[in-house]
Every structure is written in structure tokens, then in C-alpha cells.
Structure 1
């Protein structure tokens, strides 16, 4: 984009109450069949309009057509058995019943391409589309087949690459891989996390991004954050290899976190989506608070590479809170844009 400080969200936005349960990470749909398909498309229209009204520059689907940012992708893959579930620790934080990999994993058809085409017809703004990253997918699957995380990562990366290429062809401008697991399995990021990401973006004709945060604003995550001490330096160990990767944009958490801002220096040269909106609170940031965060980031990120963003997805928040936070993000970026243009 030519515009300085283009704003965007990480990905998910709250679902309307007529489509699904509200303020939940795994919400149950309220409709089925053709009625559900139509309602999802209506929700896409609404969430796009809300982003445009808030002044968001790079829009997304708000993940309106998927139940969860990982499982909606994995349930469309062959070799993943959702009937046969195992209890597994997710990101070393909480237990969940996860599906089992029972055989070779493959993608029978594109998962999100029709949704992306639909969104593309509705707007001429740049579109960002999110996909789960290989490491984060592995963290929500019980592997009863490959029994080797690095091998499975490359299998998933190839599948994601096929999906990403089709999304780019459908008119998506940025494809973002969500990798919150990068802040947990730090040693494995260098070993196979980044190599898998490189495979996922191979031959991609649009821009690519990776989002690495400390999780949604749910209790399991906020409790975990309280154990991390006064400085969260996870990025320090993973940024050097990510900086050398083929990923174009790095999306990170900063607002109201204990991440030292200077760690952004480690990814100098990359575009950076700086989290300037806290998704773990319903308190609305003031535009000046957002601008202040972005001003600090400018010490470590070149102005033409700074993309104001949210810390994480906003699916668990009430809709009115998400709307107000998006407006604050836009207004804060505008303050800084005006300062630099005068």
C-alpha cells in the first residue's frame, strides 16, 4: 500500500448473534444447510461494512465463515478423524479434545477460496486472509500416523501452500499464517517451524505474513501471561530466523504486554504489523494511546513498513467493543500520519 500506516485486524472479529453463539472461541452455529451458507455471507457483508466504517485500510473476512481459526481448516482435510478424539495439552496451557491424524493428510478441495472470491467482489480494498500455520495446526492434532512433528509440518505446509496459491489467484492481497505456537515451542521454531513457513509461501504471488502473539483474551491465556514475569522475551529467540525467512510481514503483540519494544529491531527490514489494540480487555484504547504505541515502534520499524494492527483476533469480544477498538486503531494511526505529513 502507498498509504502510510495502513491499519488492519489480526483476523477474527465477533460473529453476529443471529449467526452463532457470541463471545466464544468455538461457537455453535444457529442455522444449518442453505440458511447457514446465506447467513455466513450476510455476516461477511456486515463485518466488511463495519471495518470500512471504522476506517480500516486492509480488510478481512473476520473469519465469519469458520467456527475456529484452526479446526475449520483441518476438518476439511483427508486423514484427520474428528470422530476419534484424544485429550491433548494445547500450547502447554489447557487441555482440549482434539482430532486424530489417522492416515496420510491431504486436501480434497480448497477450503476458503469461494469465501475469498465472495469477499473480493464486495470491496476494492486490499484483503488479508488468515490460515493456521503448520506448528499451530500440529498443536491441535493428535498425530497417530506420522509420529514426527517436523515431517507432519512439511506435509501441512504443502497443503497450506496449495490453498494459499488459490487464495492469491482469487484476489487476496496478503495471506497470513497464524503461529501463536511460535511463542511456546521456541526451540522448534528454528528447527522446523520457519522451514515449514518457507514451504507454505513458496511461489506465492501475493504478500505473506506470519502472526505470532500470546493468544486470544481468554482466561487460560491471561492466566499464563501472569506467569511470564516482567519481560516477555520469546520474540528475541525466534525473530532472527524469521527475519531471514521468505515471509514479508511479521504481526506481533505489543499493547499492554511486557514485550520489550526494542526486540522489533531484530526484524528491521521486514514490514511489521504492530499490535496496538489489547484484545484481552473490553476497555477501549484512546486514539492517543494507540498513537503513542506506534510512535515508540517507529524507533525500531521504518515508517513505510509500520502497519498498525490488533494484538490478536477479537472473536471473543462483544461486537460493540470490537467496533470501538477498530475506530480507535484508525484514529490513532491518523494522528501519527498527520504528524509525519506536517
Structure 2
């Protein structure tokens, strides 16, 4: 029998201090060559162990082998020059120096497949793997070749589909596409964003998820959130279209955010990954706080379709805090399971 309310993380977990700088996003690696390869594998094992100790049901690699959730994938593709950099505005929020698309983009070899095979060998539990979504990928680059956000997104969707099919063959149970850009570029989401995402999942038999969040707790994101008013209704724009899409699971941010929880009603019928852990602060939620968020979500999603999760990745947090938050997520979900079975 499938477990009710299976828990998972939305993405990254903190890296050990011997691999990268603690509590720092996109920290450079502290090891190199063979030592780095081995160190990343050790960190992946450790991330899995932390999740298992906390009682997380659907486990992941904690993104231990990547520096950044988007650029680490792009680094392995042809057609992008990482030496030639331009400054662009990321998700209309902050400026960043990014690589340039200089020629047709293509993928000569798998990016994460060996890591996924390695994770698969370590556990019998269901595993989830995160990939950047097409729209979020184009938003992290300067395009000097296609000169069209849409064209480039379709190329990335095709490449992501190649990678996703190989991840599925490696034994991945859920492939998640991270699309924080869906909370910003509403016209594009409707015009071609959801369609590009569907191209990325074409032909997959495993479950697929889209993760749409408000980002890590970095200043640019927290400043942006302050401009959104007392209710964050961004999901209202993308949910109706996603409800009609072939994506199986929709992931959203609920804990300590201003997202009206009734927006979940817009994707009734889909599985919903409900973010019940705030990743922007060090305060560790109590199991009761997690349970309260899940309880409210259950008004709008059937219990067999509710997947308790974190709001976003936890890379910038300390390992102690992340561990506490994983434990709270597990314990909170268990409280609700008991209530539902009474």
C-alpha cells in the first residue's frame, strides 16, 4: 500500500563544510579532480542518510553534486560560452553576470545520469530528481544566437527531455522541473511556458513535477516579496493552465508565505507538493506548525494527492537547521496521517 502524505524536499540540502563553504549559495568547491568526484559522492550519501534519519519518504541527492540548480546543467551543454559574460536582470529582480549563448545549444552526453544511478544503488525508496525548467534556464543566460526567448526555451525543452528519459531509465521515480520564473513572466507562461514544459516531459512514464517557488532567502528575493502586498496571488496566473497540462505534481510555497491557500483549488485533481517548511529563516518549525499548514491545504486537495514538502531548497541554511526542519516536516506529516486514520 502506498504511503499517505509522502514527504520530500523541494530541492537542495546544505553541503558538508569539507566540500563547499557552509551557508553560502553557489560556493566554489573546496576539492578538485578525483577528490572532488569522490567528495561529491560522499556528500550525496550523507544527504540521503540525513533524509532517511528524518523519515523523509521520497528521497533525493540534495543537489550535492551541483553548484547551482540551473548553471550546473547548462555547463555541460554545447553552444554556451561561460567565458563570455553579460549582465542580465534575473527574474526581473537582480542583476547577475551570466554566460552567453553563442551557437545552437545541444547535449553531447548525459549530465546527471551517473549521479542518479549512484543514488538509485544506495536506496530502495522512491527517488526524485530536479532539473531546471526551460523558462528558468533562458532567464539565466544572455542569448546572442537565437535572439528569441521562446526559440531558446524550446531547444532547452528538447535537451531536458533527452536527459529526463535517461534519468527515468536510471530508475528515477519523479522528475521535477524547477520553474521559479513561472511566478514572474505570466504572459510567457501562458503563451509558451507550459507548452515548453510539456515538451520536456514528452514520452515519460515516470511521474513528473513542476516546482514554482518564491526563491531562496537571499536579499533580492526577500526585497521582491515585500513589494507583493499582503496576498501573493502569482499562482493564479499559471495554475489553471497547469491544471490542464500533463504534469502530474504541482509544487507550491505555503509555509510562512502570503500565498492564499485556497489557490490550491485551481489545480484540484492534480497531486500537490505543499511547501510546509519556510527555507528563508533559521527558525525550525514545530511539528504542529507543519501539521497546521497541511490541515489547511487538505480543504483544497484530497489526502491521497497531498505531498508535504519544503518551500524551496535548503542549501543556504546550516546543516543543523536543515536537519531540524526535515524532522519537523516528517513529524508534522505523521500527525496528520494519524488524524486521517482516526
Structure 2 length normalisation: TM-score?
A: 0.99
Q: How far did 1:23 drift? A: 1.2
Aligned mates of 1:145, 1:192 — CA distance in 2: 19
1:244 alignment counterpart: 244
Question: Are 2:108 and 1:74 aligned?
Answer: no
Alignment map for 1:177-196 (pairs within 5 Å): 177-196=177-196
Q: C-alpha displacement at 1:156, in angstroms?
A: 0.3
Rounded to whole Å, the distance in 1 between the matches of 2:67 and 2:28 is: 7
Distance 1:8 1:101 in 2: 34
Q: Distance in 1 between matches of 2:3 and 2:211?
A: 22
SS at match of 2:10: coil
**SS at 1:289 equivalent:** helix
1:229-277, Cα deviation, whole Å (9 max, x unpaired)? 0011110111000111110000000111110011000000000000000
What displacement does 1:321 show? 0.2
Which sections of structure 2, spanning at least 5 residues, go unmatched?
A: none
Matches within 5 A, 1:301-320: 301-320=301-320
DSSP-derived class of the 1:64 partner: coil
Residue correspondence of structure 1 range 1-342 to structure 2 within 5 A: 2-342=2-342
Distance in 2 (CA, whole Å) between partners of 1:319 and 1:94 is 27
Give me the whole-angstrom Cα distance separating, in 1, the residues matched to 2:197 and 2:122. Answer: 30
Task: For residues 282-326 of structure 1, give each alpha carbon's deviation from its aligned partner in whole angstroms, at most 9, with x where no partner exists.
Answer: 000000000010000000001000000000000000000000000
Q: Distance in 2 between matches of 1:177 and 1:56?
A: 20
Q: Secondary structure at the match of 2:227?
A: coil
Structure 1: how far apart are the matches of 2:278 and 2:61? 20
Which runs of 5 or more structure 1 residues have no equivalent in the other structure? none
Rounded Cα–Cα distance in structure 2 between residues aligned with 1:211 and 1:95? 23
CA distance in 1, matches of 2:219, 2:6: 31
Measured against aligned partners, the alpha-carbon deviations of 1:143-172 in whole angstroms (never above 9, x if no partner) come to: 000011111111000000000000000000
Please state how far the C-alpha of 1:44 moved relative to its aligned partner.
Answer: 0.6
- State the alpha-carbon separation in 2 of the partners of residues 213 and 41 from structure 1: 28
Give the distance between the partners of 1:23 and 1:98, measured in 2 at CA.
22
The CA distance in 2 between the partners of 1:153 and 1:216, in whole Å, is 23
Give the Cα–Cα distance (whole angstroms) in 1 for the partners of residues 284 and 135 of structure 2: 32
Distance between the aligned counterparts of 1:21 and 1:134, measured in 2? 29
Query: RMSD value over aligned CA atoms?
Result: 0.6
